[in-house]
Structure 1
Amino acid sequence: MQTAVETTGSVVGSDHPTEGMIEAGRRRFPTDSASQIALDLKFRRRGGPIWMRSTPEELSTALTKFLEKRVEGDFAVTDTRWLTGGASKIQMAFTLNWSEPGRGPVADRMLLRMDPPETLNATFKQTEAELISAARGVLPVPAVRWTDAYGDEFPEPALVCDFVDGVTKPQTTKTGQVSGLGTNFGPELRAKLAPQFVQHLAALHSRDVSDVTSDALVRPDSGTNQSALWRLNFERQIWEQDRGEDVPLMDVAAGWLERNLPVTERVSLVHGDFRSGNFLFDEKSATVTAWLDWELGHLGDRHADLAYCTQPLYGHYAEDGKTFLASGMLPREDLFEQYEKASGLTVDPARIEWYSVFCSYYAIVKTLATSYRVARLGRSHQDVLLARLEGVVPVLVRELGQLLEKVV
């Protein structure tokens, strides 16, 4: 007879996943080795203490000790301050006064980006850092300076990158209050941002990735369905450990996704969260200054990003009340057409269909399962926001059901 502690997916059982439960998930739903590191960190750390607020002074002390091992000569950390925004990370801006080789004495604004005890998005900081570095020179991203991938020197895993100026939404808008969802940029700003949105996505996907591979950034085989299977199994492991209830529709969706895994003919850099709310822009010049939030990024199929950024949750209707704008930018078909011209790559409707179902599936994993579990256990500084995200579950379930009606 199984006990509650051994029952994957039970209300009690997933509060403290055992090594046996974690290993069972690995065997049942195998994913790539780097993604598995992220999952293992997530599940193993769950049994630790709840989130406790760190003061800027405490993090500054940890940061100073961290930098002492990496910066030669004298330096000083000043101007520390918390940053708000997002649904997952703890962020502290600071100025590093130091002498960088080749530049001399400088005062660089930087950002410490650290996980809470458990985050909405299971991530491995080394993977995140390498993805951002691979994207540099292709689209605007902050330079990553250093990482503490396992939380050996900070309270939790963290990375340090350059600070980039910009905003995620117009200062006058009242939309996009929750993690940038449904941000309305307005006609004038939209007309300037939308071409950059498409160009950056095209540039990211058309970058040659033959030189991009490591233990932290595993490349799937092209000409196989390996990429789709890895992404699906990653989410299925999370669903089994985080959910607090059975949802038959999720079983139907997972079964259809597994039976219809698409082949990836070309491996690309995939951002994983490419949408409004995850880029900074200068409001005066309407220039995108940086793409952020790479924790869901991987090497895989470009259609994952294309389907994701056109999900209904991230867009809104234009001023005519009839035209739906993907990510608040432009109509879905216009986005695909401009993307094909900019990238030289085709948009495959069959793969868009599969990844649209997948995106809808894992949006429910994040909201109904992970948000519930993390908020319930007090594992994040954003527990109120995570609980609020659960409010979109009925909409997401309806969308998933409608998608499945078309394909099952």
Structure 2
Amino acid sequence: MSEAIVTDVRTGHHFSTERLESYLEHHQQGFTGPLRIRQFEGGQSNPTFLLESPSGKYVLRKQPPGELLPSAHQVDREYRVMSALAPTNVPVPAMRCLCMDKGVIGANFYVMDYVPSRIFADASLPGVEPEHRKLIYSELARNLAALHSLDPRSLGIGDFGRAGNYFSRQISRWARQYRATETETITSMDKLINWLPDNVPATEKMAVVHGDYRIGNCLIDPIEPAIAAVIDWELSTLGDPLADLGYVYQMYYISTFEFGLGGKSLEQLGIPSQEEFIWEYCQHAGIDRVDNLQFSVIYNLFRLAGISQGVYKRGLEGNASSEIALTFREVVRDYADTAWNMVEAL
């Protein structure tokens, strides 16, 4: 079992408690001060803070300090998609308010309810009974299938992303963002940037996709083997559900980072095998099989390398949410090398 690590607000992330209090008193129903503000460890993209007050405990997510890439750190998209999902069977925290006035704390932000939970950065779920691990992973597959079964238009987010050519557009986007934050030459990354556009699957589907769906972004109920809420929707959009499935599935190939399961004894841990996880997803999604899964894993490893490169660059510039960012240099290379090894094995 693991609880979220909360620290004092770190250097470079401070903002005015008084201005935030005043804003919440006028824009968040039922809020009363005074506020105590602390910062969650992690949240490499959008810094995340615990707000404690007489009216309750809340979580604030804001854009990071420093110069931002145009399409990154759009906290308003997180707020919008979780608000839309509130009445569905995909569990999300309750949204409280969204502020797009940077004059309040120096960045756009939103506030949501705090969800009591366990958090596991380690995908092997240390300290959890094997039978409970199996149930949690079953929920992981079920919630993803539930998300992909929703009609974006009926949720009021039919304009949440562009229609068609999802993989092509995403490959182009992450290639650009990787180049914008590149700090050294990684040959496997250069090869992937050339290979991926020519190998996009011919057919695509359209659904709400999370973009960073994994155990580490699920809040586990404090007692029951159940997912209390899915968080970190910054990368969500409308796209091919295969992208989400390939992203969570890549955990079976990753061994160099804690949210990977590569090289671990899944049977002993009680965690479903690759085949069992896909079967579980298909059962809940009402489909017989998943095509082009290997392409999606390769694409997602490339994308994760691009994201990690941005984290590392922010670490070098001193703008990252955590000092852990400086350890991402080798992570970028590991992801890119793993993806290119898969290409060569096809």
TM-score, with normalisation over the residues of structure 2?
Answer: 0.83
Rounded Cα–Cα distance in structure 1 between residues aligned with 2:187 and 2:329:
18
Q: What amino acid does structure 2 have at the position aligned with 1:203?
A: A
Q: 2:75 aligns with which of 96, 111, 125?
A: 125
2:235 is aligned with 1:296: yes
Between the aligned residues of both structures, percent identity stands at 24
Asked which structure has the greater CA Rg, the reply is 1
Please list the CA deviations of residues 308-335 of structure 1 after superposition, one character each: whole Å capped at 9, or x if unmatched. 111123332687x37598xx94211111
Rounded Cα–Cα distance in structure 2 between residues aligned with 1:275 and 1:284:
20
Gaps of 5+ in 1: 1-50, 98-106, 170-175
Q: 2:314 aligns with which of 345, 367, 374?
A: 374
Question: Residue 97 of structure 2 aligns with which residue?
Answer: 146
2:161 is aligned with 1:218: yes
Seen in structure 2, the aligned counterparts of structure 1 residues 129 and 216 have a Cα distance that, compared at 3 Å, is farther
2:327 is aligned with 1:388: yes
Q: What amino acid does structure 1 have at the position aligned with 2:146?
A: A
C-alpha deviation, 1:76, in angstroms: 2.5
SS class of match (1:202): helix
Equivalent residue pairs, number: 327
SS class of match (1:349): coil
Rounded Cα–Cα distance in structure 1 between residues aligned with 2:13 and 2:281:
43
Residues 215-364 of structure 1 aligned to structure 2 (within 5 Å): 217-221=160-164, 226-311=165-250, 312-313=253-254, 314-316=259-261, 321=265, 329-350=271-292, 352-364=293-305
C-alpha deviation, 1:275, in angstroms: 0.8
SS class of match (1:316): coil
Are the aligned partners of 1:138 and 1:207 in contact in 2 as well (CA < 8 Å)? no
**Further displaced range: 310-319 or 298-307:** 310-319
Rounded Cα–Cα distance in structure 1 between residues aligned with 2:105 and 2:225:
36
Seen in structure 2, the aligned counterparts of structure 1 residues 89 and 59 have a Cα distance that, compared at 3 Å, is farther
Please list the CA deviations of residues 224-256 of structure 1 after superposition, one character each: whole Å capped at 9, or x if unmatched. xx1112211221121111001233322221222
Rounded Cα–Cα distance in structure 1 between residues aligned with 2:196 and 2:57:
44
Residues 33-52 of structure 1 aligned to structure 2 (within 5 Å): 52=12
Rounded Cα–Cα distance in structure 1 between residues aligned with 2:157 and 2:145:
24
Are the aligned partners of 2:35 and 2:52 in contact in 1 as well (CA < 8 Å)? yes
C-alpha deviation, 1:216, in angstroms: 7.2
C-alpha deviation, 1:272, in angstroms: 1.0
